[in-house]
Amino acid sequence: MLKKKIFFLTFTFICFSMKAQNVVTETIQIDTNFVTYDVIYTDTLTKGVFSKVIAVFANDTSQIAIEKNYTSNYQNGLYKAYYPSGGLMVKTVYANNKLNGEWTFYDKTGEVAIKGIYKEGIKHKYWAYRYLKCYGRYKNGKKSGRWKCLNTDGGKYITKYPNLYLTGMFDFVRIRRNNPSTNDSIVSQPINDSLISNTNNQIQEIDTFYLSAITYLARNYYIRNRIKIQFTNTKKERKYYDKYFDYKKDLFLFAVSPTIIPLGLPPFLTEPEKLTSDTINTQLTANIEQYKDGFSSHPVRTDLALYQYSTQPNSDMILYFSEVVDNMLRVDIVEFRNRNNESFEDIYKHPNARKYSVLIYFNQIKDVKAVEYQQKKVE
């Protein structure tokens, strides 16, 4: 009797171990995020060089988790991933082990949340972030052209990413615009002649948070009006501030400080009225100590690449950035007239520097979601 019990327990343990060895952890890409499933691959349907493999959830083998297709051991064709409830989560196409074609992410109700196209594993062409109400195009993995988004606090806005815009603040002109029959290749013309380049003479990239903020401020009609109103008291004074804007290019002309400094949260903690952005107000209320400490205590550091993104390096208007704290960034727009050879840090501390502050909150894809502008006029 004892031998039978030992045999039964041993057999059960072996079966359990064999089943445990079949459990595989699969990583599923959802745009820039990833989720993992513990699955068991059950069926493989084969016809010639074509095969289809099916995985079920390890904790519920009645539900399909993943379906893949292969050709000669390369992942090709349709790919599907499902929610544990059985609903479709991701549907896309692979070619030679890379995402290549239409990619769709569905929310748990079955509605399309994100839809776009991959080309050899990178984002390309039109993408729609429907759950964020943000739409635009990618070119070889980088945002390009006009992106239309819904700012939760200010209606729709358009952010412009001209071709190759992500590699620096450039104008692009056709060198043979008057002779359309020729091969009119596009040549980049830097707005300034003092771009800081690396040893390969290439424009250096910066963090997407800062790039989104610069792009938003550089080509935003609303900030143009805010600058004139907040820095002046009369129409005559406002006329002077036209020099900070290139109206033909729809461009705010500023220098970008390479010095990232602790800017703190004032004046947003001492505004006479409630903050106009409900999103930012909610974030600050829920995490006030985190933001106060984050914006105030980080050390001064230098990122020389930021200066490359100046729309006019010798402008008397200068953008100063804080560190990014939980998807929020403080920007100070500082006017310092008649600049000479002062360092950016010295300019910021100078008693004649006039400062106007902006808080920017970003969504999950690092696009501007909400903005809070300083209410108090600049002194």
Please check whether residue 299 lies inside any domain of the structure.
Answer: yes
Tokens of 344: 């950016």
Is the pTM higher than 0.75? The answer reads: no
SS3 (DSSP) at 86 = coil
pLDDT tens across the length of the chain (379 residues): 544 444 444 444 434 443 444 899 998 888 777 788 999 998 788 888 888 999 999 999 999 999 999 998 899 999 999 999 999 999 999 999 999 999 999 999 999 999 999 999 999 999 998 877 788 888 888 878 777 776 544 555 556 554 433 333 333 222 222 333 333 222 232 333 333 343 344 557 788 889 889 988 887 777 777 888 888 888 888 888 889 988 777 788 999 999 999 988 887 777 667 788 888 989 998 989 999 899 988 899 999 889 988 989 999 999 999 999 999 999 999 999 988 889 999 999 999 999 999 999 998 888 888 888 888 888 7
Distance of CA 317 to the CA centre of its chain: 25
Please enumerate in sequence order all residues whose Cβ is within 8 A of that of 102, keeping only pairs 6 or more positions apart, or say none. Answer: 92, 93, 115, 116, 117
Nearest to 307 by CA among 295, 324, 319, 323: 319
Is residue 306 within 8 A of residue 258, CB to CB? The reply is: yes
Residue 317 is assigned to a structural domain of this protein: yes
Our count of domains for the chain comes to 1
Boundaries of domain holding 286: 206-373
Is residue 201, in this structure, part of any structural domain at all?
Answer: no
CA gap 75, 73 in Å, rounded: 7
Residue 362 is assigned to a structural domain of this protein: yes
78 falls within a domain:
no
What tokens appear for 371 in the block?
């903005």
Task: Say if 121 falls within a structural domain.
Answer: no
Cα four-point dihedral sign 213, 215, 217, 221: negative
What is the DSSP code string of 137-178? EEETTEEEEEEEEEETTTEEEEEEE-TTGGGSSEEEEETTTT
Tokens linked to 116:
């776009």
In whole angstroms, give the CA distance from residue 10 to residue 15.
9
Residue 355 lies in a domain: yes
Decide: helix, strand or coil at residue 105: strand
Residue 193 covered by a domain:
no
